[in-house]
Amino acid sequence: MNLLNKLKDEINELKDELIELRRDFHMYPELGFKEERTSKRVAEYLKRLGLDVRENIAHTGVVAILEGKEEGKTVMLRSDMDALPVEEQNDVPYRSRNEGIMHACGHDGHMAMLLVAAKILSHHKEEIPGRVMFLFQPNEEVAGARQMIEEGALDDPHPDGAFAIHLWTPIESGKMGISAGPVMAALDEFKVRIKGRGGHTGAPHTAIDPILTAADFIQSVQMIQTREIDVLKPTLIMFGLVNAGTATNVIPEYIDLGGTIRYLYEGGSESPEKPLVRFERILKKVCEAHECTYELEFIPSNSTLINDDKMANLVSSVAKDVVGAENITSYIGTAGEDFAEFAKIIPSCFYFVGAGNPKKGIIYPHHHPLFDIDEDVLPIGVEMHIRTAIAFLRKE
């Protein structure tokens, strides 16, 4: 194929545009389901390529279809679009212009890579044996994929296979992480309110202290992941929110807790491990011991992300030609990723392109206010998108 023979040259010719796109998205980040400017820019770019573009799916989602020369399968390439409620601390020309919001997870790079891949593929549509669906998803951080599916994003045409890339700073630039089976954890958020009886800190015996109860619960619930569930079936219970009180000398009426439960096994909360059932059992017993009551809400976010074996093998085969076999590693993480919702109904592979570079000071983890990516890896993502799509469509 002329496309594959000249691919690296075509990508290099578009590298400046690729970086400009990423930096523009980075400067104007938007939160989940509020990606108005982002969505508009994505849709306009795809329309200029002559693609069939559908907008406003799940509020701000965009889907574009590239019809190849011949009838064949449909492959989906996905990018997320949302940013995080983080105040950026990087001192760079493309620093976020939107106060309190930052692309601290790499989604800006994901959009840029997929748009440039779409541009190159559209220039070679006569060589494509089938269709390519470019799906730009809102609200990845809190389960936007499920809503896109519910609103028909995959109905016409329905993809036969799907791929997604995540830029990943824990992996060194020039390397890639590809694994079959479970690769990202299921995620449920929780909100807990423990209710006691308020009073004076000088007379605690006349009150029921919800803060002490919460401290007991936070400690006790950790035994689920170390004493009740096999350590070879990873389970993480983490608290990210603790709010209580109005003054230093007042015992409050209640305390609010929030956090996440993550698990890296099939079946998630409905599995034999039943992490959510165990969580509430301990909460109930601790509150009874302290004579408190509680309110509990679980907010499902995404399932365990499980890569199809054949799709992961295809990606690994392509990656050997892009970065070399010596630069491919297995990678499994306990962060959540709602591409899992697509992977449940389409044979899929979600994989990682390393974007960390200590020589450039790019050492900070995802969701950190100093997070950044090595922009020199963006062409790798573009090439992987194109090569995996073509390999899938050509494969019998």
List, as residue ranges, the binding site for Mn(2+): 105, 107, 141, 166, 367
The CA distance from 362 to 376, in Å, is: 12
Sequence-separated (6 or more) residues with CB below 8 Å from residue 212: 290
DSSP structure string for 100-112: T-B--SSHHHHHH
Task: Give the sign of the dihedral formed by CA 247, CA 251, CA 253, CA 257.
Answer: positive
Q: What residue numbers does the annotated binding site cover? A: 105, 107, 141, 166, 367
Strand-strand pairing, 293-302 and 186-195 = antiparallel
Measured distance CA(131)–CA(160) in Å, rounded: 10
- Other Cβ atoms less than 10 A from the Cβ of 98: the count is 16
- Residues annotated as catalytic are 82, 140
| CA angle (388, 394, 396) in 5-degree steps | 115
379 Cβ neighbours under 8 A, 6+ residues apart: 8, 11, 12, 15, 18
> Can you point out the beta strands (E) in the chain?
52-57, 61-67, 73-80, 130-137, 161-172, 176-177, 181-184, 186-195, 199-200, 235-244, 250-251, 254-263, 293-302, 305-307, 328-329, 348-356
Tell me the chain's radius of gyration from C-alpha atoms. Answer: 23
d(CA 28, CA 40): 12
